[in-house]
Amino acid sequence: MEALFRVNGVLSFENLYKVDRPVIIAHRGASQVERENTLEAFRAAIDMGADAIEFDVRRTRDNVLVIHHDACIASGTAPINDLTYPEAVDLAKASNFHLPTLDETLKLCQDKVALDIELKENGYESDVIPLVGQYYDLDHVVFTSFYDDCVARLKEIAPQIMAGLILGVDPPATLRTRLSELLPLKRLKNCRADFVAPNYRLLKPGLIRRMRAAGYPVWVWTVNDVSLADRLSKSKVAAIITDTPDIIKRIAG
């Protein structure tokens, strides 16, 4: 077994299948102490010693890449992709937070922490990858999405990157959707995913074993329970995504 491989102090995602402990990833930053997906949450996660930070990328109507989970800034507002960046910033300010751009986030995190970048929509994969590459060696970054075609497009644009398929749509549109999450091998192969990221509720008997046997490291989200984190660590999952990276790192790291 190997220790986590780092270059200049920042985690590299090479050889994740062989490491001796899971990577601990801060879900939307340290989101239990600061507002999620904000620069403050990212700074806190860095200070806590998270191996990596996960965050969500969307695009405004005027093609600015921003960090936000929900489709809208606040309840009742227009979707971010229908707003200009100044309009989105004003709505965020009215809700008492700063809406960070991807550029701002990369500048903050550069040379400090690895990244898990989730694309919340299709269509801007070719904008995200080169921007990230301006700040990061792509060995220190993974890209994820719930959308198979988004993962496939990421791998088409840059085959060398690591990309993962997220599982755990809530609620699933159909029973077929849920079955495809419990038995995802066909989807993973078709979209050329390098790893699989199931919600912890999908961890039915044998899922971790089956994925590892097929060559897919397992990244589990969102794990805040310390006993579950301990069990997952012993099950050799590759990564644990958590709102409390400081606590879970002490248990599983």
119-134 tens-digit pLDDT: 999 999 999 999 999 9
pLDDT: is 65 or 14 the higher one?
65
The domain that contains 14 carries what CATH number? 3.20.20.190
The percentage of residues in the chain with a pLDDT greater than 90, rounded to a whole number, is 87
| Mean confidence (pLDDT) of the chain | 94
Asked if the structure places residue 29 within a domain, the reply is yes
Asked if the structure places residue 198 within a domain, the reply is yes
Asked if the structure places residue 1 within a domain, the reply is no
The answer to whether 163 and 192 have CB atoms below 8 angstroms apart is: yes
DSSP letter assigned to residue 172: -
pLDDT of residue 1 exceeding 60, the answer is no
Burial class (CB in 10 A: 0-12, 13-18, 19+), 42: buried
Question: What torsion do the CA atoms of 22, 23, 27, 33 make, to the nearest 10 degrees?
Answer: 90
Task: State how many domains the chain has.
Answer: 1
Least confident of 12-16, 19-23, 102-106, 156-160: 12-16
Question: How many angstroms separate the Cα of 210 from the Cα of each of 16, 17, 100, 189, 206?
Answer: 17, 14, 38, 14, 6
Range of the domain at 101: 6-252
The answer to whether 195 and 16 have CB atoms below 8 angstroms apart is: yes
